[in-house]
């Protein structure tokens, strides 16, 4: 159990227009900070006014990308209370990420305690409008000033919050996806399963390419053969072909998404066949030609459930469900958001009350 000290802001920022939040534009009044020092462990947990960090220019995070992060949300319920969605899953994933990245981790209970404490402090920032939430960004950075490549002796773990609307400007309307066949995102033994900034930095070249071609995101193929579908820039991806729902297996190169996991659990509960076998992109494009690619959607904390309306692979273009949201995608969206925003009973036991 953390002993969190509070230093509250004396002035509060004006709240943004809830109808126009966008994603990751506004930040709340406070942040959570805790330090880690080799030989001492975690110390000085605090909630302090949101402010720029003081970092030595030689801090290792700035040179060797020694950092990791998480993404989660707090939701405003119809009765005004606030809840989180499976926060322990984010804590567990961060521990797995940090092992790979040689970063220290907070125990699950301390991580969840810190998130709850900050959200409760920022409760007035959790927006009320439909489809809005408070995005929570826990992250850890290596702070030791040192230019040799080795693990850092000091780290800082922080949590910041941002009131958000939809991640894509298209909202719940289907996105257009470009299948990347030149660059790779992840290889066996690499960091593909982690939430480290480097994975995202290395993906931008393809995102720029996709944008230039008129597509919103990149669908990555496996890094060895460029043959099997893996994940989209900021989402896991599902394909419904001939009544089977496929998503890439989490075997080290795909992010084990909390929304992905929740969708699989819901789909299985509803009696769908879910396959986590590797799915060749050729099979996806053939299915599209044969009229059997019924639905494609992405899942993620930021993106929620995002229908895909178009896939471009090499010189082939697949249009999915006439560019409309399909019935399974719609049911998943309604159920998941219903549970998250407290508009449906949480039969799965996924939500955690904050205040
Ligand atoms: C999330 O879905 O929370 C993410 O972290 C994706 C992204 C915005 C990087």
Cα end-to-end span (Å), the chain: 19
Closest ligand 1 atom to Cα of 73: 3
Indicate if 78 and 158 belong to the same structural domain.
yes
- What does pTM read for this prediction? 0.97
Residue 252 lies in a domain: yes
Indicate if 160 and 289 belong to the same structural domain.
no
Among 116, 143, 164, which residue terminates a domain?
Answer: 164
- What lies within 8 Å, CB to CB, of 64 at 6+ separation is 142, 149
Mutate which of 262, 300, 305 for ligand 1? The one with the most ligand atoms within 8 Å of its CB, which is: 300
Among 164, 195, 229, which residue terminates a domain?
Answer: 164
Indicate if 159 and 67 belong to the same structural domain.
yes
Ligand 1 centre from 71 Cα, in Å? Answer: 5
Mutate which of 22, 25, 71 for ligand 1? The one with the most ligand atoms within 8 Å of its CB, which is: 71
SS3 204: helix
SS3 345: coil
Among 164, 185, 215, which residue terminates a domain?
Answer: 164
The conformational region for residue 172 under phi > 0 = left, psi -120 to 50 = alpha, else beta, is: alpha
DSSP letters, 47-65, are: EEE-------TTBHHHHH-
Ligand 1 centre from 291 Cα, in Å? Answer: 32
Indicate if 76 and 224 belong to the same structural domain.
no
Indicate if 224 and 190 belong to the same structural domain.
yes
Residue 139 lies in a domain: yes
Residue 53 lies in a domain: yes
* CB-ligand 1 contact for 68 (6 Å cutoff): no
Residue 290 lies in a domain: yes
Q: Which domain holds residue 136?
A: 5-164
Indicate if 155 and 179 belong to the same structural domain.
no
Indicate if 223 and 331 belong to the same structural domain.
yes
SS3 89: helix
Domain count, the chain: 2
Pick the closest to residue 299 from 259, 328, 272 (CA basis): 259
Residue 16 lies in a domain: yes
Give the CATH number, domain containing residue 131. 3.30.470.10
* β strands within 117-216, DSSP E: 133-142, 154-164, 175-180
* CB-ligand 1 contact for 326 (6 Å cutoff): no
Residue 122 lies in a domain: yes
**pLDDT digits (tens), the chain, 355 positions:** 999 999 999 999 999 999 999 999 999 999 999 999 999 999 999 999 999 999 999 999 999 999 999 999 999 999 999 999 999 999 999 999 999 999 999 999 999 999 999 999 999 999 999 999 999 999 999 999 999 999 999 999 999 999 999 887 766 789 999 999 999 999 999 999 999 999 999 999 999 999 999 999 999 999 999 999 999 988 999 999 999 999 999 999 999 999 999 999 999 999 999 999 999 999 999 999 999 999 999 999 988 999 999 999 999 999 999 989 999 999 999 999 999 999 999 999 999 999 9
Residue 351 lies in a domain: no
């Amino acid at each position: 159990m953390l002993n969190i000290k509070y230093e509250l802001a004396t002035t509060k920022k004006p709240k943004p227009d809830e109808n126009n939040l966008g994603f990751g534009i506004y930040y709340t009044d406070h942040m959570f900070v805790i330090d880690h020092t080799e030989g001492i462990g975690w110390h000085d947990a605090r909630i302090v006014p949101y402010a720029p960090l003081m970092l030595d220019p030689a801090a290792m995070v700035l040179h060797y990308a020694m950092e990791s992060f998480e993404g989660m949300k707090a939701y405003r319920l119809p009765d005004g209370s606030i809840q989180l969605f499976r926060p322990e899953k984010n804590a567990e994933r961060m521990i797995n990420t940090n092992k790979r990245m040689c970063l220290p981790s907070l125990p699950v209970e301390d991580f969840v305690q810190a998130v709850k404490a900050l959200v409760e402090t920022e409760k007035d920032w959790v927006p009320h409008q439909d489809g809005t939430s408070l995005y929570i960004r826990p992250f850890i950075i290596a702070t030791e000033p040192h230019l040799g490549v080795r693990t850092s002796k000091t780290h800082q773990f922080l949590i910041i919050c941002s009131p958000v609307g939809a991640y894509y400007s298209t909202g719940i309307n289907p996105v257009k996806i470009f299948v990347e066949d030149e660059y790779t995102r992840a290889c066996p033994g690499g960091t593909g399963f982690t939430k480290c900034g480097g994975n995202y930095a290395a993906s931008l070249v393809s995102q720029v390419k996709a944008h230039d071609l008129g597509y919103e995101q990149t669908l990555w193929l496996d890094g060895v053969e460029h043959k099997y579908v893996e994940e989209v820039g900021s989402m896991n991806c599902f394909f419904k072909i001939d009544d089977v729902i496929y998503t890439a297996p989490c075997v080290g190169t795909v992010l084990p998404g909390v929304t992905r996991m929740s969708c699989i659990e819901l789909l299985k509960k509803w009696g769908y066949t879910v396959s986590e076998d590797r799915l060749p992109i050729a099979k996806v494009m053939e299915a599209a030609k044969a009229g059997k690619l019924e639905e494609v959607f992405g899942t993620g904390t930021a993106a929620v459930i995002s229908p895909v309306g178009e896939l471009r692979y090499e010189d082939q273009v697949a249009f999915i469900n006439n560019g409309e949201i399909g019935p399974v995608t719609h049911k998943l969206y309604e159920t998941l958001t219903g549970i998250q925003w407290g508009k449906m009973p949480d039969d799965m036991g996924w939500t955690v009350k904050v205040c």
